[in-house]
Structure 1
């Protein structure tokens, strides 16, 4: 193989590889945009535990929040705990458990608020938290 043909082959192979990487990333980018458009109502709650050093209390609350996913109007649910990310002035890591829920519409979010599973969650788990802050948003 001549030097010119080898360079053309390497250039073509590199271009194809780069295109494959970009193309493989596209479905996740499209899926994220689709999810946001499909579920425009976001309910984000942050819980501060009464006993922030108790892994047992944290795990009970996490399990309780995950059980809320049985409510039919919740389209997506993410339950999290504080991540060990870079410490910056804009990062608040004083909370213990986080829930992010996506709803198709405001009626679905209202149904969640009054749903018996949600009411039972509050009754069974509210003793675990000291404070809850909720942020509700709709796509702009």
Structure 2
């Protein structure tokens, strides 16, 4: 049996590494799945109430049942470094992703969204929305 050379081993390892790196790369920036983002920040009327916060989070999570919502992230303020540019005055955030503006418009009038507003609006004192379209 022929003993493999170090050069051949290193060459094979380099090819495997390159193949792995290429397969992990996105195929194209044009294939980004969700070009429309709907980011909402909620300020609770009772910001110290864990019950109110949990109820709002539970309500927000029902929105993922809407067929045009492609992905959802629900969050609370992170305990990161306090800096002048960071607003940590809000309580809960929802981040929704859509394929297109039509899907986001469908979400706005969807019965599940309207039910969420009906059931949870008493919990917040302020809502701020950022709708984002990929540039």
Where does residue 39 of structure 1 map in the other structure?
34
Q: For 1:121, what is the secondary structure of its paired residue?
A: helix
Q: CA deviation at 1:34?
A: 7.2
TM-score for the superposition, normalised by structure 2? 0.80
* C-alpha distance in 2 between matches for 1:118 and 1:109: 11
3-state SS, counterpart of residue 38 of structure 1: coil
1:30 aligned residue: 26
Q: Report the Cα offset of residue 38 of structure 1.
A: 1.7
Among candidates 78, 101, 112, match of residue 96 of structure 2: 101
Instruction: Specify which of 43, 56, 60 is matched with residue 61 of structure 1.
Output: 56
Asked if 1:80 is matched to 2:75, the reply is yes
Q: Alignment partner of 2:39: what SS?
A: strand
Mark the runs of 5 or more structure 1 residues left unpaired by the alignment: 1-7
Gaps of 5+ in 2: 1-5
Per-residue deviation, residues 63-113 of structure 1 (Å, max 9, x unmatched):
000111000000010000111111111111100000000100111000000
Query: 2:109 matched to which residue of 1?
Result: 114
- Mapped to 2, the partners of 1:101 and 1:86 lie a distance apart of 26
TM-score (norm 1): 0.78
Write the distance in 2 (CA, Å) between the matches of 1:58 and 1:67: 15
